[in-house]
């Protein structure tokens, strides 16, 4: 086996996994704080990618991503205020149906706001070439790392880790954990629980925007478009493998699934076409059968 190839595949897998990790950690954050499964997470990525695209028409791409983040945060807070908060405390099925409805609404909204045409980052029309992030691609000892992979590793991975640390050690992280344990108790302790929850939704939109921008080609090829919805489905296997209510679990699971996908695409895909797409969902099946609380999720025992 070619060691350089293995290392290269592993690094690229980790780079992709870092994107999955950062998106899934925001998704899990929302679940922890509100017990809402956000079925519109892929549409959050789509909105984030389009916000980045809009900013990229006026600014260099890296600046565009950074400017899109506060807009995404506001978007997340608005979704929580306008859509989620009125539904809290309702039947879980109603909330699930509502987030599915939210997904369809956001899908339609992107079509209305940005139009159906194919787009590329930084290009206002087909006569323009795309804007690119500075190339960080390098080759060392037969190991090649693409610019996209390097950017993912230096932006997404630290962000995911930062999120884990912030949740554990920062004041806001403690507040969020308190709200997720018991919103009533947190309110009784004087914690502004609605604000904490709104911030969780805002952070989720920010992490989805980073994932969406990179998967939409911020560092090489592609553009914002509906294919992000297909890519966004990966969040669910990542979250389930991680334990669904564990942000560190989501980060670890994202990296694992990124690695598995990379090696599967390299070694298994030609033998079993379609296997790479199926593997994350096979993992979900196995996790649900043998370890329903995932890698780092809470062991809940419900007595009925």
Q: Which residues here bind another protein, judged by CB under 8 A?
A: 5, 8-9, 12, 15-16, 19, 107-108, 111, 115-120, 123, 125-130, 132, 135, 137, 139, 144, 146-149, 215, 217, 220-223, 225-231, 234, 261-262, 265-266, 269-270, 273-274, 276-277
DSSP class per residue in 15-55:
HHHHHHHHHHHHHHHHHHHH----TTHHHHHHHHHHHHHHH
Question: CB-wise, 43 or 245, nearer to another protein?
Answer: 43
CB of 15 to another protein, least distance (A): 7
Question: CB-wise, 117 or 302, nearer to another protein?
Answer: 117
> In residues, how long is the chain?
304
Residue 173, C-beta contacts closer than 8 angstroms, at least 6 positions apart: 166, 167
Point out which residues pair with 139 in neighbouring strands: 144
- Kindly report the number of other CB atoms within 10 A of residue 200's CB atom: 25
CA distance 200 to 27: 9
Question: CB-wise, 123 or 178, nearer to another protein?
Answer: 123
Please check whether residue 242 is in contact with residue 296, taking contact to mean a CB–CB distance below 8 angstroms: yes
Please check whether residue 202 is in contact with residue 74, taking contact to mean a CB–CB distance below 8 angstroms: yes
Tokens 């980060």 locate to: 251
CA distance 17 to 110: 26
CB of 273 to another protein, least distance (A): 4
CB of 182 to another protein, least distance (A): 38
Helices (H), 57-156: 61-79, 92-114, 147-151
Strands (E), the chain: 138-140, 143-145
CB of 127 to another protein, least distance (A): 5
Three-state SS at 120: strand
CB of 19 to another protein, least distance (A): 7
CB of 71 to another protein, least distance (A): 23
CB of 41 to another protein, least distance (A): 15
Question: CB-wise, 5 or 97, nearer to another protein?
Answer: 5
Question: CB-wise, 115 or 141, nearer to another protein?
Answer: 115
């Amino acid at each position: 086996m070619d060691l350089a190839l293995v290392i290269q595949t592993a690094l690229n897998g980790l780079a992709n996994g870092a994107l999955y990790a950062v998106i899934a950690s925001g998704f899990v954050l929302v679940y922890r704080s509100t017990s809402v499964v956000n079925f519109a997470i892929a549409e959050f990525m789509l909105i984030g990618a389009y916000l980045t695209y809009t900013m990229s028409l006026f600014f260099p791409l890296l600046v565009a991503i950074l400017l899109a983040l506060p807009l995404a945060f506001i978007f997340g807070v608005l979704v929580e205020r306008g859509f989620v908060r009125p539904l809290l405390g309702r039947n879980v099925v109603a909330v699930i149906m509502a987030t599915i409805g939210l997904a369809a609404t956001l899908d339609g909204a992107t079509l209305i706001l940005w139009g159906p045409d194919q787009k590329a980052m930084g290009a206002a029309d087909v006569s323009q070439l795309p804007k690119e992030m500075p190339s960080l691609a390098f080759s060392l000892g037969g190991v090649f790392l693409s610019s996209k992979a390097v950017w993912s590793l230096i932006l997404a991975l630290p962000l995911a880790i930062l999120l884990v640390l912030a949740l554990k050690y920062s004041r806001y992280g403690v507040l969020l954990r308190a709200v997720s344990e018991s919103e009533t108790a947190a309110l009784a302790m004087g914690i502004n629980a609605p604000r904490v929850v709104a911030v969780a939704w805002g952070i989720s939109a920010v992490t989805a925007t980073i994932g969406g921008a990179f998967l939409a080609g911020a560092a090489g090829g592609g553009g914002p478009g509906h294919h992000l919805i297909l890519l966004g489905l990966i969040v669910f296997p990542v979250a389930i493998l991680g334990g669904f209510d564990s942000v560190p679990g989501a980060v670890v699971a994202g990296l694992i699934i990124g690695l598995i996908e990379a090696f599967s695409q390299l070694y298994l895909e030609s033998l079993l076409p379609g296997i790479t797409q199926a593997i994350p969902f096979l993992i979900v099946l196995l996790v649900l059968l043998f370890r329903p609380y995932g890698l780092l999720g809470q062991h809940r025992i419900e007595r009925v």
